[in-house]
Amino acid sequence: MSHMKKISVCEGGMNQDISGILNEWSFDPEANVRKIAGEDGVEKIQVRVDQGAFQGILQLNLDGRPDGRRPHGQDFALDHYCGALEEHRHEHGSEDDGFALDDEACKELFDEGARVYERYAFLLQLKDYRRVVRDTERNMSLFRFVNRYAALQEDRDNLEKWWPYVLRINGMAKAMLAVDDDDYERALEIVHQTRDQIGSWPAVEAEEFFVERERSEEALEELEQELLQKRPLSPIEQLQRSLQEAIDREEFERAAVLRDEINKLQEEER
């Protein structure tokens, strides 16, 4: 008895062979994501795929929904359901009571959240940090909305285990934007705030939560060390480094001069 999955064949009336595109962009695991301008005028991400016998390219929009769809006539399904909540409040005197997301609505939102997650994972590779912040914040809004309004407890809890991950990616992207502005102190502050936020987040009884919390702590520690190494030294730190070098070389007269300069700068900063 065969266990092979049945494959549906779609017959097209035109040549849809993508060999030319694949040959022009050979697979490189270190450079398999790129941005392009679509024929529809929309910027897109393309991901070169090599899975054994299968070769291909994944494509998703940079803005709006990754798949380009407009569910319920809105940019996102979340926008539609937020609008439905506002209508409910208008009809019931600003009350949320009675508004709930049924199973189908939750499935639609879970699917949308997964698509946005897949996009910001690629955006991170492209170092498009502003869009990473945008997408992670959208998914955080989706998490909160489902947790507040899903009719079933199972649906309310479904996304809660991913908070450490989405907080980490959001914080790391914000920190890298600060680095792009040469503001290393702000970047380090963001890393510390993100670590504290994840550490104090209410635990969820799911393996994914604890795994992602540990991974996030490690990733943020690595980023902090990287930032500390790359951060330009302040004038006092430069003098302190020179002072240590003078002491190591037993250049005590120079060390005394450097101490005086350090003390003078510290007095000026007070």
pLDDT in tens, 146-161: 999 999 999 999 999 9
Total domains in the fold of the chain:
2
Evaluate if residue 121 carries a pLDDT over 80. Answer: yes
Evaluate if residue 83 carries a pLDDT over 80. Answer: yes
Establish if 42 belongs to a structural domain: no
Identify the residue with better confidence: 56 or 265: 56
Establish if 34 belongs to a structural domain: no
Establish if 80 belongs to a structural domain: no
- Given this model, what pLDDT does residue 1 score? 47
- Given this model, what pLDDT does residue 238 score? 73
Say if residue 204 is in the same domain as residue 131: yes
Evaluate if residue 128 carries a pLDDT over 90. Answer: yes
Establish if 202 belongs to a structural domain: yes
Say if residue 95 is in the same domain as residue 223: yes
Evaluate if residue 115 carries a pLDDT over 70. Answer: yes
Say if residue 146 is in the same domain as residue 241: no
Question: How sure is the predictor about 11, in pLDDT bands with cuts at 50, 70 and 90?
Answer: low
pLDDT in tens, 220-253: 999 999 999 888 777 777 777 788 888 888 888 8
- Lowest mean pLDDT segment, chosen from 40-49, 134-143, 172-181, 211-220: 40-49
Say if residue 139 is in the same domain as residue 157: yes
Mean pLDDT across 19-47: 88
Rounded CA Rg of the chain: 26
Establish if 168 belongs to a structural domain: yes
Say if residue 252 is in the same domain as residue 119: no
Say if residue 103 is in the same domain as residue 216: yes
Tokens encoding 1: 């008895």
Establish if 1 belongs to a structural domain: no
What is the residue range of 145's domain? 89-230
Mean pLDDT across 170-182: 97
- Given this model, what pLDDT does residue 183 score? 94
- Given this model, what pLDDT does residue 259 score? 84
Identify the residue with better confidence: 31 or 210: 210
Evaluate if residue 129 carries a pLDDT over 60. Answer: yes
Mean pLDDT across 52-65: 91
User: What whole-number percentage of the chain has pLDDT above 70?
Assistant: 94
- Given this model, what pLDDT does residue 5 score? 54
Say if residue 139 is in the same domain as residue 189: yes
Say if residue 206 is in the same domain as residue 120: yes
Say if residue 124 is in the same domain as residue 255: no
- Given this model, what pLDDT does residue 9 score? 57
CA 146 to CA 99: how far, in whole Å? 12
CB 85 within 8 A of CB 149: yes
Question: How sure is the predictor about 199, in pLDDT bands with cuts at 50, 70 and 90?
Answer: very high
Evaluate if residue 3 carries a pLDDT over 60. Answer: no
